[in-house]
Every structure is written in C-alpha cells, then in structure tokens.
Structure 1
C-alpha cells in the first residue's frame, strides 16, 4: 500500500516520476514527524482532475497552503468554506474583479479544472505550519515531466512569481502564451501582479486559437 494513493492519475501515470522518484519521496514523508498537507488522498488531485489532453491553461503555484483545513491539492485553491480567503487568493480575486468585473464566491477553484485549467503546485506537500518545508523532497521532477508532457501543442501558462517562471523556463513562448508577473502574495502583488490582466488576456488568446474561453468566476457575465 502506497502512502500517496495515485490510482486515478489516468494518462499522467505513465510519467517516469511515479516509478523512479515517488518511492523516495514517500520514504521521506513516512519518516516525517510532522503532519503534512494536503491529506494524502488529495496530493495528486490536480492531475487526477485534469488529464493531459484536456489541459488548455496551466497555472503553477509554489507549495500547498500550510494552514490545516486549507489545502486540497489544487494550486491557490482552498476548501469552499475557508474564511477569510488565503491572502494570495484574495489578491487573485482582486485582480480578477479589476480585470473581468467578477470573481468567485468561495475559495474553491476546482471548477476551473473542469474547464481545462491545470492548477499545479511545483511542490505537492508541505508540513503543517511550515511553508516551503518540503521544497527539497524532489517534487520539482514531477513538474518538469508534466510540462514536458504538455509540450505537444500550444497552451497558455500563467506564471506568477520567480519559482513558477523558473519551472516553466523551457516552455517556448513562440508556440505558447506565457504570462509572467509577480506572485499574488501580499509581499509582491503590487510589484506587477496587480494590473497584469492575466484572465482576459488568456481568454483572448484561447479564442484567437479557436478554443473556449475560461469562465474564471464560475458565474454568468463576463468571462
């Protein structure tokens, strides 16, 4: 029995990471004295919900929210009943409101995954209360393989912050839409995230390439 269930990965299961690297990460997690987040069955939730051929947009996060009850396996997303909103997510909604005139009603972004938005953290676990505490486990190998798998056709990449931009350095801007800006955290959002209009710009690109726009707010009205 594996520590991190991943039977629902579908096509992602063919990535070498799951055979070559994951056992080492599981061994490290088994020796971890602190509880880690998200709960083990949700660690690969973003990949399970968004199969490779369905992905139109990639948003790369850093690592899961370290507050118990927040992280559920999707970058920047949290459980629907989380209040107040995590601070980075609150800034994302502020920018979305400025860009589109609407934003979601809750912290749960899983509706975006159902439209082809892969919400993937570059590190998939975190010790409770210790942001960045698992950044050296080797999760970045999975990110690299996911992005390589998605290089088969043009996609949109929303890269907020240096970590996401470094992870996606190999994504060809000639073939793909790469929107890079500061991270939406309170420490950096005013350094270029606010005013970057990533949501409307992504939709313009998608529609120009004969693809469906994303309903970013899960509401009727502006996309």
Structure 2
C-alpha cells in the first residue's frame, strides 16, 4: 500500500507494517476483482495519517467508514462536505457538542477543521464494502490501527483519547497511561445509553490543559458546501 501521501512521521511509524499493509491491499484488490465496491476512494483510505503525527493531541476512535456511497472520506465520523442529510451518528455528535459547549451544529459533515488542530479521527477498520457495515473487519486493518495507537501513546507529547462504543473501548489497553474518555457510541441505537450528557469535548479540553497543552477549538465552519 502506498504511503507516499501520508505524513513523513506516520510513514516512518507505519513502515514496519509493510507486510500487513500489502496483505490488506491484496484483500482490497480481490474485492475489486469480485465486483465488490468498497469505500472510501483509494486515495482517501489513509487520509487520517496525512496530518502530522507530532501534532496529534486528541485521538477519536471510530468503527469503520460510512457504507453509503459518497459519504466516506477517510476520517472517522466525517463525511463529504456536500452530504445531506447529515449522517445520524454525526448529527448526535453535533447535538452533544452543542449541549456540552454551546457550539451550534454545523450545516455540513466535514470534520477536517478538527483534523487541522491535531484531532486524529481514526476508524479501527479503514475500508468497508459498499452498503455492508463491518464487512472488512478481521482482514488486517485492526493490526494496523492498533500499531498506530501504540505509537501515539508512546510519544512524550500530550494526548487524550475518546473511545465511543465497544469497538473503540477495546483499544483502551493499548493506550497505557493516556487519559481516555469512554462512553456509548453516538449511533441512534445507543446515544441515549450514555453518549448524550457525557460531555466529551469539555472533558478533552480539561485533560489537555492538565497536561499543559492548548485546548481544541471544537467549532466547525458552518458555511454551506461550495
């Protein structure tokens, strides 16, 4: 798998996983040959690793990409700026953001503003068959993302992890002493069982400041898609 588009720090960190990445690529190639469309677009699969490794202050862990064609963009919970209506999990994230910090919900689902501030939006599995949630689990991505999480936790820089749902919570042992904010997933199926009211955004900022780091400005540009 081509690492040329990722941040040099991430490229070095992921280099030992060359064999695993090649195996995942072989699986994706086989999916294509079998006529199974998969998401996101190939040039977006590693998008989460395009932002500098050294700049990551917050890790938000998701499950796998949105399975709806046109939605997945390579960043967990984010979607193409033009997507309407908003993905339901993201709409719930925006609701909690408003209830937590008073920030009005954005009109679009593009979370790249968070990525630019050092928020790593990392799914456990980085691809999915179109229309089939969870279809690319246990094909190698979990080993890749687990390694990335270990790399983050081993750095000396401040870090806070946000683990939404059981899949995300399973990475807690990889985090060492990294502060982790754990709750139910923002999906409509579970948001009322512990996600709403969990105040993750203010808690992240408090944990960052306790480590001597600047807080995240969680506001998202609310202008419509061009």
Match for residue 112 of structure 1 among 111, 114, 129: 114
SS in 1 for 2:11: helix
Q: Residue 65 in 1 paired to residue 86 in 2?
A: no
Partner of 1:82: 83
Distance 1:66 1:17 in 2: 29
TM-score normalised to structure 1 length: 0.91
Distance 1:183 1:130 in 2: 19
Partner of 2:53: 52
Distance 2:107 2:203 in 1: 22
Distance 1:78 1:105 in 2: 12
Is the CA contact 1:38–1:71 (under 8 Å) kept in the aligned structure 2?
Answer: yes
Residue 104 of structure 1, CA deviation: 2.8
Which stretches of structure 1, 4 residues or more, deviate above 3 A after TM superposition? none
Q: Which shifted more, 14-23 or 105-114?
A: 14-23
Is the CA contact 1:91–1:189 (under 8 Å) kept in the aligned structure 2?
Answer: yes
Partner of 2:20: 21
Residue 12 of structure 1, CA deviation: 1.4
Distance 2:204 2:221 in 1: 17
Distance 1:77 1:12 in 2: 21
Distance 1:122 1:91 in 2: 20
- List alignment gaps of at least 5 residues for structure 1: none
RMSD between superposed Cα atoms in Å: 1.5
SS in 1 for 2:161: strand
Give the total of aligned pairs: 214
SS in 1 for 2:203: helix
Distance 2:89 2:152 in 1: 26
Partner of 1:96: 97
Partner of 1:145: 147
Match for residue 168 of structure 1 among 169, 172, 190: 172
Distance 1:132 1:126 in 2: 7
Partner of 1:159: 163
Change (3 A) 1:182 1:214: same
TM-score normalised to structure 2 length: 0.90
Cα shift readout 1:99-156 (whole Å, capped 9, x = no counterpart)? 0111333100011010000000000000100010001211011111111111223410
Distance 2:41 2:212 in 1: 38
Distance 1:17 1:38 in 2: 24
Partner of 2:4: 7
